[in-house]
């Protein structure tokens, strides 16, 4: 029984010390900090800008009533606008630059071609071939 408990702790230690668990923990912490930055950008800069354009800072007062049921359409509009602003901000300020950096990092030097086209039948043949394998013409 004691060996089982020690084995479980050893397995747990290996699990915790794996790189991907530590990376995930760091990602969650950075994500939480980044969330406050994005929320502040939306709440303090972009939402007042939109309010200045539409001359209404808050849509929560918009509603309609059917059979004494109040439908708070304004709250939904606020949530929708907030979602669109946050997702656009994250896309244009995070996703696009990261994708650009990744694509620049992954560019590899072009390799020399290993094949060429046969002048007679236009088939792909090895670059060093002296005779075409398809039409048997001398190259």
Mean pLDDT of the region 114-127:
87
Q: Which range marks the domain in which residue 55 is found?
A: 2-107
User: Where residue 10 sits, what CATH number does that domain have?
Assistant: 1.10.1200.120
Mean pLDDT of the region 108-115:
73
* pLDDT score, position 46: 74
Q: Residue 136: left (phi > 0), alpha (psi -120 to 50), or beta?
A: left
Residues 96, 134 share a domain: no
Residues 67, 36 share a domain: yes
Q: Which residues pair with 126 in a beta bridge?
A: 115
Residues 138, 77 share a domain: no
Mean pLDDT of the region 93-100:
86
Collapse the DSSP code of 119 into the 3-class scheme (helix H, G, I; strand E, B; otherwise coil) and give the result: coil
Residues 20, 87 share a domain: yes
Residues 92, 134 share a domain: no
Angle at 65 between CA 61 and CA 70, to 5 degrees: 65
pLDDT tens-digit map of 45-63: 877 787 788 777 677 778 8
- Altogether, the residues listed in the chain come to a count of 139
pLDDT tens-digit map of 65-88: 999 999 988 888 878 877 887 788
């Amino acid at each position: 029984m004691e060996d089982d408990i020690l084995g479980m702790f050893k397995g747990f230690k290996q699990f915790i010390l794996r790189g991907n668990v530590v990376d995930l923990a760091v990602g969650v912490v950075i994500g939480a900090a980044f969330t406050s930055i994005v929320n502040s950008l939306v709440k303090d800069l972009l939402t007042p800008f939109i309010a200045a354009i539409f001359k209404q800072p808050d849509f929560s007062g918009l509603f309609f009533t059917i059979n004494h049921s109040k439908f708070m359409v304004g709250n939904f509009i606020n949530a929708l606008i907030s979602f669109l602003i946050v997702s656009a901000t994250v896309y244009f300020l995070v996703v696009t630059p990261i994708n650009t950096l990744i694509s620049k990092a992954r560019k590899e030097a072009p390799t020399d071609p290993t094949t060429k086209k046969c002048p007679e039948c236009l088939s792909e043949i090895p670059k060093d071939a002296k005779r075409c394998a398809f039409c048997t013409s001398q190259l």
